[in-house]
Structure 1
């Protein structure tokens, strides 16, 4: 009876699927339909290549796209990642683990429907990133975007290390900044002799102190007078300057 059951399942699979495998439990996996699309439960094994570690993952395909939860293991059988997919892209919460089984990173993704590449995004107040001022419909590329909370843990201790908030692939903290915040002033280029006063002042401020001292050439008569009376009593010299 068992042999007849297996033969009937095999003949049924041969008629429905272009390609498939039978698991150790007798299940039909890695199915490819007559259109060449992957369907149903799949187990994928990737051997180590050069410096890249190998892995084995399992999950479901729907019309050749990863769908729902997927698990990834090391070749030694240790759980490495729990990922969720929609439209063949990461969607929702994804968790990654170290060899000790502790989470090292929690990601949050949002997949964009390829059949409807339009999304309604919230507009936040630039002075208060928690306050929504409105919404806007935009066209986006069908891809997975960072959206939600990303949490990082210390790989050795497993303790919380850092957290990031993302909104449609942009950090929430960046959305609260003004358009010019965080930008350094740029000095306009100017040819020699035509530079503006503000540019000259900015350049002077960066020069060493000894370069800022201007050398004053004394008149020849004053130099001769000082040389003649060097080492003697000082005399007041009128250099032609007026004022205090």
Structure 2
């Protein structure tokens, strides 16, 4: 946890981009300066078609009781891709999101006061066609089958979801979801056998991939991969 906080502190003292200005933090003092150098213009760029391209900072104003957040990650011609980091008003990490074609896909992590409280998995639905197919497992027979999912769903909770106690990090509960339907839930004390089971189970799921999109090396800039 300390390592994670240290990484984000180092990041926050480098750049905090809001609109067209950069906020640099030196010795706990925030200093604002206008964009002027080549390095500054590496952020928040558009492609020739006017779509967001490359590394971006986004500031989201609070709605319906939610807090203001700042997020940063990579756009591929207007589509969020790969890892995105979401911070609260105090620059504490809230979420590490994974995107594919602008939709949540794969492993996502959720934090509270800097502590990891949940690891969950999403499965994005292809928008190229009216319907997409997702492979699911029958919880009784263990056999896999394809189910048809409307593309308008966008993304679904699909895979294992682990919930942890903060700050101890102990596992409190595990759930398994298939296309937004919870098929399994268990609360227990975590031990080595549980850990091995969860890891093996997660790796065996048909939608889990380890080759998430990463921006080309020359397009990355302080993204914590």
TM-score grouping bracket, smaller chain normalisation: 0.5 to 0.7
Q: Could you tell me which of 81, 91, 108 is aligned with 2:121?
A: 108
Change (3 A) 1:85 1:53: same
Alignment of 1:71-220 (within 5 A): 71-99=85-113, 101-116=114-129, 117-122=131-136, 124=138, 128-129=140-141, 131-132=142-143, 134-136=144-146, 138-142=148-152, 143-173=154-184
1:159 Cα deviation after fit: 2.2
TM-score by length of 2: 0.58
Change (3 A) 1:35 1:103: same
Q: Is the radius of gyration larger for structure 1 or structure 2? A: 1
Q: Report the counterpart of residue 203 of structure 1 in structure 2.
A: none
TM-score by length of 1: 0.54
Higher strand share: 2
Show structure 2 runs of 5+ residues with no match: 1-19, 22-34, 186-225
Q: Could you tell me which of 68, 88, 93 is aligned with 1:54?
A: 68
1:23–1:29 CA contact under 8 A, matched in 2: no
Change (3 A) 1:169 1:49: closer
Q: Report the counterpart of residue 43 of structure 1 in structure 2.
A: 57
**1:27, 1:48 → 2: CA distance?**
27
Change (3 A) 1:78 1:123: closer
Show structure 1 runs of 5+ residues with no match: 1-19, 175-244
